[in-house]
Amino acid sequence: MAAPVEFYFDFSSPYGYLASTRIDEMVAKHGRKVEWRPFMLGAVFKLAGTAPLTNVPLKGDYSVRDFKRCARMHGVPFVMPPKFPVGTIVAARAYYWLVARAPEKARPFARAGLSAYFVHGRDISEREVVGEIAAAQGIDRDELLAGAEAAETKERVKAVTDEAINGRGVFGSPFAFVDGEPFWGSDRLDMVDRWLATGGW
């Protein structure tokens, strides 16, 4: 059985959200699975001396226009969140706590978190908001929020982020690997599709 496609994203990344709405179905066409790996994009910004797209002079207005245009093109609901970007460490920790404790709930939680932020404009940096999103998915809110603060959960997010950046060369969101081949950006999904179909070129 072929290894899963690895899908790195930050919960505060518009292009990561856009990719999340398409990647599972697209990869499934090729009989493959996707492993979702939220990570902390802020660590990249620090390391590379870069910044969120919307904070880069000249790029900001274009980026927001392009987020919306890409979403409309694919028929995906999208609003530019009123607070952007936001810290996503609580969401990421909650995700990996679920991966360890109730793996079948992790991806639905991640989808709900991305929707809360990019469809409903909710501030997912807030613990209360993350707790509400989890509760709506039938997850015990208090248990989740406590688990997110556990040392092993914190360590897991740190390790995933460190391995992504220093081990795999991830420098943006979304970032996917197909059998080791790296693809940066939601606009590379069509190329991922072609790579899966052909085995590469």
Query: By the criterion CB under 8 A, which residues form the site for its own copies?
Result: 44, 47-50, 56-59, 61-62, 65-66, 69, 72-73, 165, 169-172, 182, 184-185, 187-188, 190-191, 194, 201
Min. distance of Cβ 99 from its own copies in angstroms? 26
Nearer to its own copies, 94 or 196 (CB): 196
Min. distance of Cβ 50 from its own copies in angstroms? 7
Sheet containing strand 175-178, strands side by side: 34-38, 5-9, 175-178, 181-184
Nearer to its own copies, 31 or 201 (CB): 201
Nearer to its own copies, 50 or 137 (CB): 50
Strand partners, 95: none
Nearer to its own copies, 48 or 159 (CB): 48
78 neighbors 68 (Cβ within 8 angstroms): yes
Min. distance of Cβ 85 from its own copies in angstroms? 18
Residue type, position 151, single letter: A
Nearer to its own copies, 5 or 90 (CB): 5
CA–CA distances in Å: residue 8 to residues 66, 124, 131: 21, 18, 23
Min. distance of Cβ 169 from its own copies in angstroms? 6
- Residue 142 CB-density burial (10 A; 0-12 exposed, 13-18 middle, 19+ buried): exposed
Min. distance of Cβ 153 from its own copies in angstroms? 26
